[in-house]
Amino acid sequence: MWLLVGLGNPGAEYRHHRHNIGFLALDRIGERHGFAGFRSSKFQAEVAEGSLGPDRVLALKPATYMNLSGTAVGAAMRFYKIPLERLVVVHDEVDLPGGRLRTKRGGGAGGHNGLRSIDQHCGVDYRRLRLGIGHPGDKDRMVGHVLGNFSGDDRAWLDPVLDAVAEYAPLLLAADEALFATRATARIKAALPPA
């Protein structure tokens, strides 16, 4: 079994925040691949089960708020005995422009409190899918940017990104997840209006 985690904050008031792109991506993956609907669990998270290709997957959205995401992730990993190399975390990334994505294995949290919490509870050598939300240009505006709703301009790239992530999600679990990034990026570019 794999554990596929989307990061965000629970509650309707946060649903369309840039910080919640991980939750939005998991919703789209679940819809496309026929996962059972998300339900509350004993892990302080909403979970849904399904398959990506031949692999059984538990999709998890922590209900602990971003800064405590590791509590839910760690509890699910221990219960299902999921090794760290079968953990994939989908999260927002301010150091990538909106409409861009990157895969990464291991590394630091880069100032992301959700990743920092997972690192503390689980370790650092897991796969990450970084979904760009852009930088506001001034670090003093960072909190308002991350905890703000997607803008009208963001909508041009948001659906293409979520659709590409959902379409190629089975490749996230492959031995070489770079193929996921290549195919998803090509699909996003094809769906975006000409610059």
Residues labelled as active-site residues: 19
Count structural domains, the chain: 1
Report, as an integer, the average pLDDT of 1-14. 96
In this prediction the pTM is 0.96
Report, as an integer, the average pLDDT of 176-194. 91
Q: Is the C-alpha dihedral spanning 17, 30, 50, 108 positive or negative?
A: negative
Q: What is the mean pLDDT of the chain?
A: 94
Give the other-Cβ count within 10 Å of 153's Cβ. Answer: 10
Q: Please tell me the predicted confidence (pLDDT) of residue 192.
A: 87
Q: Please tell me the predicted confidence (pLDDT) of residue 193.
A: 78
Q: Please tell me the predicted confidence (pLDDT) of residue 109.
A: 85
Q: Please tell me the predicted confidence (pLDDT) of residue 28.
A: 98
Report, as an integer, the average pLDDT of 67-80. 97
- In sequence order, what DSSP letters do the residues of 81-145 get, joined into one string? T--GGGEEEEEEETTS-TT-EEEEES---TT-HHHHHHHHHH-S-SEEEEEE----SSGGGHHHH
- Alpha-carbon distance of 51 to 57, in angstroms, equals 5
Sheet holding 87-93, edge to edge: 39-40, 45-52, 55-62, 2-6, 87-93, 127-132, 101-105
- Band (195; pLDDT cuts 50, 70, 90): low
Residues 41, 10: contact at Cβ < 8 Å? no
Report, as an integer, the average pLDDT of 52-68. 96
Lookup result for tokens 């789209």? 28
* Residue 175 burial by Cβ neighbours in a 10 Å radius (0-12, 13-18, 19+): exposed
Structure tokens at 121: 């509870």
Question: Residue 65 above 80 pLDDT?
Answer: yes
Q: Read off the CATH number of the domain in which 38 is found.
A: 3.40.50.1470
Q: Which domain holds residue 20?
A: 2-191
Give percent of the chain with pLDDT exceeding 90. Answer: 88
